[in-house]
Copies of this chain bind each other. A is one copy, B any other.
Amino acid sequence: MGQQGQRTPAGKGAGKEFVKEITPQAEDYSQWYIDVVLKTELMDYAPVKGCMAIRPYGFAIWEKMQELLDRRIKETGHQNAYFPLFIPQELLEKEAAHVEGFAPEVALVTKGGGETLAEPLVVRPTSEAIICDFYSRWIQSWRDLPLLINQWCNVVRWEKVTRPFLRTSEFLWQEGHTCHRTEEEAEEETLKMLGVYQDFLETEMAIPVIPGRKSEREKFAGALRTYTVEALMRDGRALQAGTSHNLGQHFARVFEITFLDRDDELKHVWQTSWGVSTRLIGALITVHGDDRGLVLPPRIAPIQAVIVPILTKKAGEEVLAAARRLAGELRSAGIRIHLDDREGYSPGWKFNEWEMKGVPLRLELGPRDLQSEQVIAVRRDSGSKEPLPWAELPGKLPALLEELQGDLYRRAQRYQQEHTRSGADYDEFLRVMERERGFFVAPWCGREECELKAKEESKATIRCIAFERPEEDERCLVCGEKAAEKVYLARAY
């Protein structure tokens, strides 16, 4: 546990040697993932099992994600708030399905200020219970509805098997909690926020997702219906990227969240909750990363372009002056630019480091480029190089970054399409899940029995029930009976 800083003495580890430190994906995908998150300094392991520190480079990605998602959350009429970290155990236990789902993985505070607490406090694994307690007091009348609140916070779930970002005992997330007058309004909200997640993931993170509904088995503990957006990682496994729950009136009934409606009748509210977490950083790494390290979509990248000056003894000062001028101009043009003017590191070493860190564009500037007033722009995704005149940079870079963003999305989409099989041939399904994996789209009768059989024999779960309906004559993948649903199956993290 714990790793050395990436900085090695000048000259050491230059060129290809440096990149060799990352295990190739084909050799050991899990090790590749760990190598990437540690060596790019996204995170470091905590002295508490399953916990981590998110280092500045990783956190800058999260801040960018927060900014872009928070804007969407506010544009759809929600306000942020903050609810307590600690939940009295009896509150968590009010909703039966909810406590059953979360009780096994909670952390308990039993002592405070040197004394044993009369009642243990749960460190929030999710905040439905504590928020409902407040809502029951805040809501009186139909005028108080809809109540549209979101919070950004940390949550704790005592996980047995953990993996940086993808599954950690403490993680950061946002959780929206809303109350509505009618079932229809709650359902509309649930699907609207699922759409917000899909748009955010596809537009900003360049991650194509499959939206759908969770099966009864896989739905959120306490929900009426859970919707999900599922992404596909480079190792063919699915990742639940975000969920949106229609909570119905389950919580409203046990927490007595009532309102006086227009017709003067006292009614229970209809609720939703929805969330995405730092797990999305894991999605980002696994969807776009390659054997050289991270590949960051420009809209999320903390650094969109890095200028690496190639300093010779003769032209060093001049090159550096030009690089500084250029950096200033590009920064003014709104581009997140970094000038790597560190001494004691070779240009080759710097190229490798920024490639590993996934910076979308590298701008090389050497003595010869000084003459022709240009830089060599190198794309992280394709490695393609092109000379760009200084004068055109502020105008052209934004377009080039957007092009790169689009290409990343299309590449991920192509991968997803190439790794999505369909049909009702159960043997083929088992073969696919054993070998190349990916999604398998199949008709399903709707019975939990078949869902469990498929899971046991293939290790794949129903990631979601598609919004499209099966054809009239389609038959269940497992039992061959008449199909009620069309489902996406995959192995998952």
**B residues near A62, Cβ cutoff 8 Å:** 82
Residue of B nearest to A119 (CB): B48
Contact, CB under 8 Å: B52 / A84: yes
In contact, A121 and B4 (Cβ under 8 angstroms): no
Give how many copies assemble into the complex. Answer: 2
Residues of A in contact (CB 8 Å), total 67
In the assembled complex, how far is the CB of residue A74 from the closest CB belonging to chain B, in whole angstroms? Answer: 10
Interface positions, chain A 102-149, Cβ under 8 Å from B, are 103-114, 120-121, 123, 130, 133-134, 137-141, 143-144, 149
Q: Which residues of B contact A382 (CB under 8 A)?
A: none
Interface residue A60 (Cβ < 8 Å from any Cβ of B): yes
- Which residues of A come within 8 Å of B, CB atoms? 2-5, 7, 44, 46-48, 51-56, 58-60, 62-63, 79-88, 91, 103-114, 120-121, 123, 130, 133-134, 137-141, 143-144, 149, 153-154, 156, 158-160, 169-170, 172, 344
Q: Which of these, B60, B80, B85, B108, contacts A170 with CB under 8 Å?
A: B85
B138:A123 contact, CB within 8 angstroms: no
**Residues on the B chain within 8 Å of A4, using CB:** 140
Instruction: Out of B44, B103, B108, B144, name the residue touching A5 (CB < 8 Å).
Output: B144
Selected from B60, B153, B158, the residue in CB contact (under 8 A) with A113 is B158
The complex places the Cα of A63 from the Cα of B66 at a distance, in Å, of 13
Residue of B with least CB distance to A278: B82
> Does the CB pair B110–A81 fall under 8 Å?
no
Are A86 and B48 closer than 8 Å at their CB atoms?
Answer: yes
Q: Is the CB of A107 within 8 A of B111?
A: yes
* Interfacial chain B residues near A103, Cβ < 8 Å: 114
A278 CA to B327 CA, complexed, in Å: 37
* Complex CA distance for A93 and B60, rounded to whole angstroms: 31
Query: Complex: how many Å from CA A464 to CA B85?
Result: 33
Task: Report chain B residues within 8 Å CB of A48.
Answer: 84, 86-88, 121
Tell me whether A54 and B79 are in contact (CB under 8 A).
no
**Given A51-B84, A85-B156: A112 and B107 interface contact (C-beta under 8 Å):** yes
Q: How far is the CA of A405 from the CA of B431 in the complex (A)?
A: 69
A51 & B112 in contact (Cβ 8 Å cutoff): no
Question: Would you call B137 and A7 a contact (CB within 8 A)?
Answer: no
Whole-angstrom distance from the CB of A144 to the nearest CB of chain B? 6
Are B134 and A53 in contact (CB-based, < 8 A)?
yes
- Contact flag A63-B51 (CB < 8 Å), given A46-B130, A144-B7: no
Contact call A138/B82, Cβ cutoff below 8 A: no
